[in-house]
Amino acid sequence: MENEHTLDWLIALVENAKSIGTEEEKKNAVASVPTSLVESLMHNTALTETSTELKLFGKGIPASPGAATGVICFSSDSVLDATDEGKKVILVCHETSPADEIGMRMAEGILTVRGGMASHAAVVARGWGIPAVVGVSDLEISEKEIKIGENRLEEGAYISLDGSTGEVFSGEMKLRESSEEISELKILLDWADEIRSEHIKVRANSDTREDTERALSFGAEGIGLCRTEHMFMGDRLPLIQRFILASEESEEEKESLNELMNAQRLDLSEVISAMAPNPVTVRLLDAPLHEFLGEETPDEWLEHNPMLGTRGVRLAILREQLYRMQTRALIGAILDVREMGKKPNVDIMIPLVSEVSELDLVRSWIEEEVASVEEELRPSIGTMIETPRAAITADQIAKSADFFSFGTNDLTQLVFGFSRDDIESRVIGMYVNEGILSANPFETLDALGVGDVMKQAISKGRKANPGLEIGVCGEHGGDPASIKFLFQAGVDYVSCSPFRLPIARLAAAQAVLSSSN
């Protein structure tokens, strides 16, 4: 691609289409630009000669595109110390959790032993535009060094990675900086929006004002996934821990809920006001317990498989006040945004529903909380389709939902029976190499299996509820091949990480064009 399709080629293509000026020529330009070129323009890349000069240290899963170089740090604290000294840093660890996000945001790149395309490190890195390589299973980390076989690097030594190839190098890599404010790319994406706008929308996965403003600059038409659990991390982590461990209806529970509500109201008002009047879908808390409680999890909350344990709607039903509190925080945020003179546009999404009775019960609580709010400000209430049973019983669930949003990361995990955090580095790479799988299903949607489950759920859902809005908020919403399938399946919008929005906008337009040929 580098030899054939370059920035100069893109500029010439767009200028030519502009000079001719016909709609047909604009469509031809949109159809002919590889999404891979747009991706390369969004991120730093390795200079070709550098990767041949440096020694290959190891290889993992290319989880977030772009190249990065910096000194090795093993923890968020050491990242912060090194960046305070003016150093560029690569965070190297076994895996990341929400507690690491302060250090992750400061790092130039992220390297992990465990994880895959849908792991915490991968999803967060893509959202922030940080290069990441995950699942380097033969990487060993000790107190002062890392090693793969006989190759060793001490903490503080330079290491480089290419998140587009999964390669990791010892030493300092020379980088080609990403191209900023390319007017021809903006023109091309505006043409793409004209082509797709009446057919499929493109939204962002965003949890902060900063990410929301970035998403808007990249062309987001709303937020398809605002993950409220991300607002409980950092210095607020003790608050959610205190709530979970408190006795039900105790004073400690009430105090922790009140503190959480005030913090969440502030965060949500910032996100909703930044995106207003465009829609914001707020997903109520959906993190597995181990992400909150960590290694100190009490025996009563200890789970062998927390991803399939007490999370999402299940935790909410056990602790009724949790989602009630979040709803009150959201109502407060909606009123705050209106006071700013803006028009809030909010949906509430209930996660991990498998049985319509779960949705009915929790929906009744939410409706009680919003009953005092003016009708025009009340959020619509829908659910995330991320379990096979939810997809199979979509006709029942659709009668109690205003919208569906497919969580394709979990749905892929559960349809295949693959652990998204464990299996990619050990099994999926080999499966792809051997031709057992044509692609990594956590990267490109499995149309035959997972996709068929989705198509049946869409058909059943819309038959039971013709006005049902349907979106996709898993990471497949930013993958071009997946977007083509999703458009054909009839979704109303895809939602993806902010830095993937330009790729999604172009891919969605190309999907529309290919369907009309």
At 287 the pLDDT is 78
Is residue 43 part of the annotated active site? The answer reads no
Helix, coil or strand: residue 141: strand
| Set 73, 93, 226, 473: catalytic member | 473
Two structure tokens written together for 212: 């929301």
Provide the CA 424 distance to its chain's centre, in angstroms. 18
User: Is residue 230 annotated as part of the catalytic site, yes or no?
Assistant: no
Question: How far is Cα 217 from Cα 42, in angstroms, rounded to an integer?
Answer: 13
Q: Which residues, 6 or more positions from 495, have their beta carbon under 8 angstroms from its beta carbon?
A: 202, 203, 204, 205, 223, 224, 225, 281, 405, 471, 472, 473, 477
Contacts of 448 by beta carbon, 8 Å cutoff, 6+ apart: none
CB 510 within 8 A of CB 516: no
Q: Which two tokens stand for residue 62?
A: 């290319």
No. of H helices and E strands in the chain? 22, 21
Q: Are strands 145-148 and 151-154 parallel, antiparallel or unpaired?
A: antiparallel
Burial of 254 (0-12, 13-18, 19+ CB in 10 A): middle
Residue 167 makes CB contacts below 8 A (sequence gap 6+) with 51, 56, 59, 133, 161
Measure Cα distances from 500 to 202, 216, 351, 424 in Å: 10, 12, 24, 22
Enter the tokens of residue 53. Answer: 């000069």
At residue 1, the pLDDT reads 37
Say if CB 89 and CB 82 are below 8 A apart.
yes
Closest listed residue to residue 72, CA positions, set 93, 47, 99: 93
Q: Which pLDDT score, from 0 to 100, does residue 3 have? A: 43
Characterize the bridge pairing of strands 55-59 and 167-170. Answer: antiparallel
* Per-position pLDDT tens, the chain of length 517: 344 688 899 999 999 999 999 999 999 999 999 999 999 898 888 876 555 678 999 999 999 999 999 999 999 999 999 999 999 999 999 999 877 888 999 999 999 999 888 888 998 898 889 999 999 989 999 989 999 988 999 999 999 999 999 999 999 999 988 866 789 999 999 999 999 999 999 999 999 999 999 999 999 999 999 999 878 777 788 888 888 888 888 898 899 999 999 999 999 999 999 999 999 999 999 978 777 777 667 777 778 888 888 899 999 999 999 999 999 999 999 999 999 999 999 999 999 999 999 999 999 999 999 999 999 999 999 999 999 999 999 999 999 999 999 999 999 999 999 987 778 777 888 899 899 999 999 999 999 999 999 999 999 999 999 999 999 998 899 999 999 999 999 999 999 999 999 999 999 999 999 998 7
Cα-Cα-Cα-Cα dihedral sign, residues 37, 40, 46, 51: negative
Q: Which residues contact 48 (CB under 8 A, 6 or more apart)?
A: 2
Cα–Cα separations (whole angstroms), residue 50 to 47, 54, 114, 173: 5, 6, 27, 6
In contact, 492 and 470? CB cutoff 8 Å: yes
pLDDT at 50: 57
pTM of structure: 0.91
From 120, 230, 290, 476, the catalytic residue: 120
Strand bridging mode 175-176 / 45-46 = antiparallel
All residues at 6 or more sequence positions from 66 whose CB lies less than 8 Å from its CB, including other chains? 42, 43, 44, 45, 109, 129, 130, 131, 162, 163, 164, 178
For residue 199, CA distances in Å to 125, 397, 458, 515 come to 29, 25, 16, 11
Total Cβ atoms within 10 A of residue 358: 21
Distance of alpha carbon 164 from alpha carbon 133, whole angstroms: 8
